[in-house]
Amino acid sequence: MTKMTPREMAQTLGSGLLSFPVTPFHAADYSFNEAQYRQNMDWLCGYKVAGLFAAGGTGEFFSLTPAEVEKVVTVAVNETRGRVPVLAGAGYGTAIAKDLAVAAERAGADGLLLLPPYLVNSEQEGLMAHVEAVCAATKLGVIVYNRDNAVLTEDSLARLAERCPNLVGYKDGIGDIELMVRIQSKIGDRFTYVGGLPTAETFALPYLEMGVTTYSSAVFNFVPEFSTAFYAAVRRRDRDAVAAGLKDFILPLLAIRNRKKGYPVSIIKAGMKVIGRDSGPVRPPLTDLTPAEIDELAALVAALPNGGLISRAAAE
């Protein structure tokens, strides 16, 4: 099978909804549950999705060893069998991030999401050197994730775009609209722009007006019918349908998610349990939802007609 070029990969991602599958763990020892992961990936490939990010943030990248990251990505590539592009997470310090980029290419991934470097705060020159080193380590297309301690300016991104032909995407995780406008004005269509704020559905419609045609949906893991239909409503600018989806599902879910630190990942694992695709616990230092909170989430899911607030036909 011929692999997509970095630019082709980025254009494909910009054409539809994206998601970050959870990484299932066995409850007894937190080891990787490969069988459940294969089942989850095969199921998700049956829906209209433009890309899946293996070992990403929702996939608990931060709790995986480098060897586990490569294993998870390899299984994802093998199970999807080219039906959906698979991108791999990379991060930590520059040396480890480069190794992970090489491992992702070896595993057959279609691209790379470069997460912020571990912990440290850096100047622009250091951040640029980090991104450039990772891009140089692989032929894969790279999407850089602007968030937390790794916020690149429009000038830095423009310089990187000149130096790194395979840097093809920008994922926004900070919500600075002015910065986003400056970046788009400076870079233009050289990048594919991805909405990456937590629970991106809440920002999807205003970001679409800025030309951000795709975002990563964590809830796609357990309510893919809802997620794909919601995305379709966003793309056709159906404000009433979007408002209903936010009011009846997303905002009540956020009310649970915002109760404790780490719950943005935990609530997705809980959702998998609710729909009968139990993918085990989150790894420490994260904590799982309480039984009562899982019941609340189950009630929200049960209230979605046919598993999706907007009809499946609307997503076709």
Active-site option among 37, 92, 145, 231 = 145
- What DSSP string runs through 68-104? HHHHHHHHHHHHHTTSS-EEEEE-SSHHHHHHHHHHH
What distance in Å separates the CA atoms of residue 22 and residue 98, rounded to the nearest whole number? 23
| Catalytic residue flag (residue 145) | yes
What is the residue type of 278?
D
Active-site option among 98, 171, 269, 273 = 171
What distance in Å separates the CA atoms of residue 241 and residue 31, rounded to the nearest whole number? 40
Residue 140 near residue 108 (C-beta atoms within 8 A): no
For residue 42, what is the DSSP state? H
Closest CA to 10 of 209, 194, 216, 208: 194
What distance in Å separates the CA atoms of residue 131 and residue 302, rounded to the nearest whole number? 43
Contacts of 90 (CB under 8 A, 6+ apart): 97, 100, 101, 104, 112, 113, 114, 115, 134
Which residues are designated catalytic? Answer: 145, 171
